[in-house]
Every structure is written in C-alpha cells, then in structure tokens.
Amino acid sequence: MSTIAVIDYGMGNLRSVYKALEHVTDKRVIVSQDAAEIRAAERVVFPGQGAIGDAMHHINGLGLGGILNEVFEDRPFLGICLGLQALVDHSEEDGGTGCFGLIPGTVKRFASPLIEVDTGERLKVPHMGWNQVSHRHDHPLWQGIEDNSRFYFVHSYYVAVSRPEDSAGVTHYGVDFTAAAAHENVFAVQFHPEKSQHDGLQLLQNFVNWDGKP
C-alpha cells in the first residue's frame, strides 16, 4: 500500500493533519521523523507551527534536510504554514534564518502597525482567522475549490515570492501575500487546510490523488 508521510520534527499540529488525511484517503498515513520511512513514502507532507529558526534547527538536527531535498525532486510534496515558509530562500524571523531555497523569495513580518490602506483600519497581528485565497493559475490542487474560497490562517510572517509564476494563490491582509506556492511536484500553503472545513479537506484529497504534475 502506498504511504503518505507526515514529517514529525517536534513542531506542528501533527494530529489534526494526520486525522484530516486519514479522513480523505484509504492510503496509509504515518507520522514519522525516520529518514528511511520518509524517503520510502510515495507522498510527503511538511506541516508546521511556531518559529522558522527552531523548525530548521530541528530538521537539520534530525538529519532530515538532505532527505527533504531528495523529496523535492521526485514526488508529490505538500507544505503547510511553516512548510511553505521553509521553501523560500530566507526568513526575517529569529534574526534572519536561511531556508531551503527551492522557491526564490523571502519571508517577511507583517508591518507594525499594520494598516489597511483603503479603510485606515488597524489590523491585528498575527493574522488569525478566515480569509479568501485568490487563485493565480490553474493547478490540480485547486480542483473542486472555487476561486476566492476562504481558508483558516494563523501567522505573523508572510511569503513574498520573487517569481510571479511560483504563486498559485494570493491573500490580502494589509498587503497582498502568497498564500499558496507551486513548483513542479511541490505545492505549499500558508493556511491550514486541516482546519479549513470542506475546502481544506478537498485540497488534501486533491493532494493524495495528485500525480505531482503541474
């Protein structure tokens, strides 16, 4: 039976991601920090919450950095929250943190204060709650999900990609930011599909059925 590996690096909402994946597929879902299990998996999910500096430290400490670079090359991969931020070149968080550099771009902190230009409203940081995601181009993971559907976010830092073609979805909260990025067999989102009800489960189901082709 094919396996979906959810990476356990000591951070992230692993149980809810695991349960959501189990809900949408009869494939075997495992939570693992074992390099051999992750390397052998047909698909890999990288969830995360917290600070990127700690995340990269734990990943490298477990010897998973090289494994992830292999995964990026040859199978369907889904990043969630920190799993998106870790894919770009660099994050401003924790005094500056180097990331995997798969997708050219930077993770930036929302401005303080964060003001909505059109209304003058002062926005709270972190960005927490439901917000719309505007599709930037067609992708198999958007199948069955209408443009401008709402997903659940919790974050204080956001991704700015360098190449517009890498952005698969955009959300506005004071600024426009990349809510979903796509690169070949890699798809990653800033929001939490496991907390986003019907559309979030649809995205996860699309992932488990995806062949990794754009």
CA–CA–CA angle 164, 168, 171 (5° rounding) = 90
User: Using alpha carbons only, what angle is made at residue 5 by residues 207 and 77, rounded to the nearest 5 degrees?
Assistant: 40
The helix/strand/coil state of 156 is coil
Beta bridge pairs of residue 187: 78, 182
CA distances (Å), origin 65, targets 59, 91, 92, 129, 183: 6, 17, 20, 31, 18
* Positions marked active-site: 81, 192, 194
∠ CA 182-117-190, rounded to 5°? 25
Tokens of 168: 């698969």
